[in-house]
Structure 1
């Protein structure tokens, strides 16, 4: 009898659970989109609430003609006085930028993720950066004016401490973006933390540091006009004195000098930044050679040393024409710094008087007081926010087309791109306070003048950032669409804009943050907002109200700053 053996049944293999092939939608992205839409709706609401329309500007055309008749011809001071005022302004601005740059370097090292000593030090450094950016420089000027009195020291410290917020943030971002290879090699060779910073990080970030400081120098030159209204010397104080006496011919003449200085500084700093771009590659080569040499020495310490070569390999770059030119720039910079310290009229004897009166001076500003006008202060704070929102909307609407035509990959030809680059440069050269004065004369006192001034002024910075973002997109997508027969407009909306859209949103948020602080300052000349109460309180020595205005402004700016940081982080991760 034959028995049959059944083959064993095949085991059922459980199929793996179904896995999602698409990433889960991030709730943060949806919330960020809603926040952006809410900000856009708030800007439209502010624009409508302030009654900004073409009719307002048309109605003020007669005022503009009358203002021009009272302004022209311009009344310039003597050459000697003009050079003295310009030299004092430039000296104060250079010293303030130098102070901010020196303070920002250690703060940035502690704030950067890859060089911080720990989470506590990084958090503390980031808090310092945010606080420095949130406190308006005019408030610092009022405090320091009470401590040091007249002189360049008040302007240097006010602009310097406030600039630390922006410079420190950009310095920290530059440190976080360095190539970690050289630093890792130096650490592997036994280098200390200081040696890693000096040899592995600093050579890579020096060009970025210099470019950031030069950019801030340009901003501080325009800010110096504002500080002239609270007693800081130079062209700003001369403009303020002329406008108080309704001497528009002299005031606008001095404002045109500030404009020319801003354009000149922008052109010179742009040339220096362009010349320093080559430093990055040269220094990377030097650092790579040094680190390779250190690693080879450590790894070959246990083997017999080879015969010493007749000539050591060259690790320093040759003295080419480019290197000589950059060295000349460094020497010129050192000479300018020394001359600025001398020309800023900084009296170190003021420090002695300030130290003795430091406690009583701070006591004047504490505790905060409302002066019985808390409702008015809150109402003007709301007006300040409306001015910032409406101005950002105006600036974005104007800057997007202008910035697009200034980008060389979007403009129809290079001549158009250069022309609109010139337009952006010209707008950036006009201080917002001067624009506010002009619009106050045209439209009258109030928030309309402030919103129009900041809106037009936003075209300068925002237009430049938009143009740079469009030029930095991947050109391959544009070329691929052109190869399919797409026209210029189709390439722009299908390939260029989608890549630059996250950067657009980040730039607009940065401009909103900037406009909120600037809107506080424009109240000094009657352009609406809480700045008017700030100036009046300081003039009548009601420093408790000054502190209240400072706290309200600080809280508002801080909330906007934190919101912008969160939105930028979400957009960067999307």
Structure 2
């Protein structure tokens, strides 16, 4: 995303010299003022005082003291649940990819058979992306019962939103020349897609698919909180019983799994997407090996998870029955409580994003290899980013709720800390991609590290930082819609209660509100980002 942002920015600047600079001269100050006002108003709405986060960290430290030393009481069961979590992530991603490939061809402007089909396909992708995965899990658990199948389906349906969009975008960026050549031979539409389009998009698709497995592994560890299988169930059980040392032991197991999988994902992406011109046979062998491991993992999923393959089709009927019971949505029953919860959700996202930006940018700069003052500082910053990224926001919310009590303050603190791992990594990547010329110029006149940062690094990285911050806002508001499930404020609590008490029409109203909130924020953020590039 950062590379694309820079490329578009550079292209625009070249086509219209000075135009982008003039636009940023008024846009960035305006965005800063709007952000400050929105943060202050939101903080007052949820009664988040400036020192709350610092006080919260003290309370969390005391809670962590009660968790020490960590222990794993039943290692066999925990590791079985860990393997289940990994297999859920893999199978959910594979199912999503299978559904996303045909959907992507329908949602790409250059391959869709009709504009109406394009609009419908894009609407499906947008809906899947806008609805949080935990929300899908809650609904599938209600329809299918407690178990791993609701979790797999939740991961699959939500993943279609990302995979479908990126797959379609890759198709739209293909070179039309090979298609015209295949079409000239008299081949039909299907042959044209297989022979001319898929070979061009396959590298992009592979990278996206591997990245999505990494994301789904992080998501799957918390699905157990709503009964959708995985290691999250054991963690919730330990927290509910106030057995904090056991809870910390399970969290450490989760951290280990996610850290190892992230390292594996990096290696796999590097092997699959960096072909060697001298060893094409080795590249084919690696792709074949990766495919074999993937197929083997999917086959093992049905055995280990005790899944009947027929359930991948029979789930549709019961799920539709639950989903259709949410119509027509009942907005009247909750009245002002629904409005308050919706505003609270947005406020949590805004305040947590503001705090996250303040905490993330310094860490991101220190984690950039080309500007970090010392290798030890670089590795410390990168390790901290990896550690924070490995802990899902819902687990952080559970910890802050236990330390601070129920309410939006706990949710805000959780998202603020979680934002460090997300935004700091994007900032670090953006800084590493900047032009080295200004850095050398400052160094040549004797400028120190601080002078280099403020005179040469920040001015180049600002557009990418703003774009990433807006994307963080989008992600945080999306996440804040479900934090209420663990008592961390927002509209998620009302949704969970409505489904638990079988008030499906009220749940339908909440689902509509969540979709509208997330969709509007996504569109506004996208529009602002488009003005910056």
TM-score interval (norm. to shorter): 0.7 to 0.9
CA distance in 1, matches of 2:17, 2:457: 28
CA distance in 2, matches of 1:82, 1:553: 34
How big is the shift at 1:107? 2.5
Q: Does 2:242 match 1:246?
A: yes
When residues 350 and 123 of structure 1 are mapped into structure 2, their CA distance, relative to the original with a 3 A threshold, is closer
Q: Give deviations 1:302-336, integer Å, cap 9, x for gaps.
A: xxxxxxxxxxxxxxx85555554454333323322
Quote the residue 1:553 is aligned against. 514
| Equivalent of residue 508 in structure 1, options 459, 469, 480 | 469
Q: Is the 8 A contact 1:148 1:351 kept in 2?
A: no
Q: Does 2:501 match 1:540?
A: yes
Quote the residue 1:98 is aligned against. 94
Quote the residue 1:16 is aligned against. none
Q: Does 2:207 match 1:211?
A: yes
Q: Give deviations 1:90-142, integer Å, cap 9, x for gaps.
A: 11111111112222222233333444445444333322221111122222222
When residues 247 and 364 of structure 1 are mapped into structure 2, their CA distance, relative to the original with a 3 A threshold, is farther
Q: Is the 8 A contact 1:95 1:341 kept in 2?
A: no
CA distance in 2, matches of 1:451, 1:495: 33
When residues 568 and 345 of structure 1 are mapped into structure 2, their CA distance, relative to the original with a 3 A threshold, is farther
When residues 410 and 116 of structure 1 are mapped into structure 2, their CA distance, relative to the original with a 3 A threshold, is farther
CA distance in 1, matches of 2:492, 2:330: 16
CA distance in 2, matches of 1:264, 1:571: 36
When residues 213 and 243 of structure 1 are mapped into structure 2, their CA distance, relative to the original with a 3 A threshold, is same
CA distance in 2, matches of 1:483, 1:337: 56
Quote the residue 1:122 is aligned against. 118
| Equivalent of residue 517 in structure 1, options 478, 482, 490 | 478
Q: Secondary structure at the match of 2:135?
A: helix
| Equivalent of residue 336 in structure 1, options 286, 294, 297 | 297
When residues 199 and 488 of structure 1 are mapped into structure 2, their CA distance, relative to the original with a 3 A threshold, is farther
Quote the residue 1:86 is aligned against. 82
CA distance in 2, matches of 1:72, 1:96: 35
When residues 79 and 29 of structure 1 are mapped into structure 2, their CA distance, relative to the original with a 3 A threshold, is same
Quote the residue 1:175 is aligned against. 171
CA distance in 2, matches of 1:201, 1:481: 47
How big is the shift at 1:147? 2.3
CA distance in 2, matches of 1:231, 1:22: 55
When residues 452 and 211 of structure 1 are mapped into structure 2, their CA distance, relative to the original with a 3 A threshold, is same
Segment of structure 1 superposing worse, 552-561 or 354-363: 354-363
CA distance in 1, matches of 2:288, 2:377: 35
Q: Give deviations 1:340-372, integer Å, cap 9, x for gaps.
A: 243333334546765554664344322322573
CA distance in 1, matches of 2:437, 2:25: 27
CA distance in 2, matches of 1:29, 1:112: 35
How big is the shift at 1:432? 0.9
Q: Give deviations 1:269-294, integer Å, cap 9, x for gaps.
A: 01111112223x76xxxxxxxxxxxx
Aligned length: 518
Quote the residue 2:267 is aligned against. 271
| Equivalent of residue 256 in structure 1, options 249, 252, 257 | 252
Q: Secondary structure at the match of 2:490?
A: coil
Segment of structure 1 superposing worse, 20-29 or 416-425: 20-29
Q: Secondary structure at the match of 1:387?
A: helix
CA distance in 2, matches of 1:24, 1:321: 45
When residues 33 and 555 of structure 1 are mapped into structure 2, their CA distance, relative to the original with a 3 A threshold, is farther
| 1:329-408 superposed matches below 5 A | 329-348=290-309, 350=311, 354=315, 357=318, 360-370=321-331, 372-408=333-369
Quote the residue 2:68 is aligned against. 72
Give ranges in structure 2 of 5+ residues lacking alignment: 1-15
CA distance in 2, matches of 1:50, 1:183: 55
When residues 61 and 207 of structure 1 are mapped into structure 2, their CA distance, relative to the original with a 3 A threshold, is closer
| Equivalent of residue 431 in structure 1, options 385, 392, 404 | 392
Q: Is the 8 A contact 1:95 1:156 kept in 2?
A: yes
CA distance in 1, matches of 2:58, 2:460: 45
CA distance in 1, matches of 2:246, 2:17: 70
How big is the shift at 1:146? 2.5
Normalising by structure 2, report the TM-score. 0.87
Q: Does 2:82 match 1:107?
A: no
RMSD (Å) for aligned C-alpha atoms: 3.2
When residues 474 and 105 of structure 1 are mapped into structure 2, their CA distance, relative to the original with a 3 A threshold, is farther
How big is the shift at 1:65? 5.4
Q: Does 2:144 match 1:162?
A: no
Give ranges in structure 1 of 5+ residues lacking alignment: 1-19, 283-316
Q: Is the 8 A contact 2:140 2:319 kept in 1?
A: no
Q: Secondary structure at the match of 1:528?
A: coil
| Equivalent of residue 138 in structure 2, options 132, 139, 142 | 142
Q: Secondary structure at the match of 1:214?
A: helix
Radius of gyration: which is bigger? Answer: 1
Segment of structure 1 superposing worse, 142-151 or 364-373: 364-373
Q: Secondary structure at the match of 1:45?
A: helix
When residues 164 and 203 of structure 1 are mapped into structure 2, their CA distance, relative to the original with a 3 A threshold, is same
When residues 339 and 374 of structure 1 are mapped into structure 2, their CA distance, relative to the original with a 3 A threshold, is same
CA distance in 2, matches of 1:439, 1:258: 18
CA distance in 2, matches of 1:63, 1:21: 53
Q: Secondary structure at the match of 2:482?
A: helix
CA distance in 1, matches of 2:175, 2:456: 30
Normalising by structure 1, report the TM-score. 0.81
